[in-house]
Amino acid sequence: MSERLIYLCIGGNLGEREANLEETRMFLNFNFGDVVSVSSVYETEAWGMSDAPAFLNQVVLIKSELTDEELLAEISELEEFYGREREEGHYLDREMDVDILFIGDAKIETEHLVVPHPRLHLRRFVLEPMCELAPDFIHPVLMKSIEELLKVCTDPSKVKLINVE
């Protein structure tokens, strides 16, 4: 498979949040392909959860030759390492979460993978760091730039710049 540019959102709200982000970036570089660039780190309110600790989030751009199936397997392995649990219909606290935002300009819809991420345009904690890396990137379904999506995002969550990378 040829190399593809993949945008991921990584983050968590438990444990050593900054160290977890750093370890995850190293894991991505070693197991996924080359980390091309990373956004700053942002602290965000827990989206869809009440009384939960704040998250640290970051968008990472990688260049990878992994297939979709290999990509999902590596993400699953990483999240399992951090003890990620899932509960249907509920968001849970976690040390690390990895969401695939974009795989180039591909549109993918399978049982296990939907790309672009179907809710990224509704989430300020994704749009802010994504806009830092690629404000002019055009969402291949909505046909708007990330900057345009951020301007019209109605998510009232607070997103605070913590650490400039």
Instruction: Please say if 25 is a catalytic residue.
Output: no
Catalytic residue of the set 4, 17, 97, 123 = 97
Q: How far is CA 7 from CA 15, 110, 127, in A?
A: 24, 18, 12
**Residue 158 per-residue DSSP state:** -
Output the pLDDT for position 95.
87
pLDDT at residue 79, as a whole number: 84
CA–CA separation, 135 and 24 (whole Å):
24
Cα 50 to chain centroid distance, Å, stands at: 21
**CATH architecture classification, 4-163:** 2-Layer Sandwich (3.30)
| pLDDT for the residue 82 | 83
What pLDDT score was predicted for residue 146? 98
Active site residue 105: no
CB 57 within 8 A of CB 41: yes
The structure's pTM equals 0.93
Residues of the chain with pLDDT under 70: 1, 48-49, 84-92, 164-165
Residue partners of 73: CB distance under 8 A and separation at least 6: none
Instruction: Check residue 164 and give its pLDDT.
Output: 66
Answer yes or no: are the C-beta atoms of 32 and 68 closer than 8 Å.
Answer: no
Q: Name the residue ranges covered by the structural domains of the chain.
A: 4-163
Q: From the candidates 94, 123, 124, 155, which is the catalytic residue? A: 94
pLDDT at residue number 83? 75
**Cα–Cα nearest to 146, from 68, 59, 29:** 59
Kind plus residue range of the DSSP H or E element containing 5: strand 4-12
Beta strands in 22-130 (DSSP E): 34-38, 41-44, 55-64, 97-103, 108-109, 114-115
Phi-psi region of 127 (alpha: psi -120 to 50; beta: other; left: phi over 0): alpha
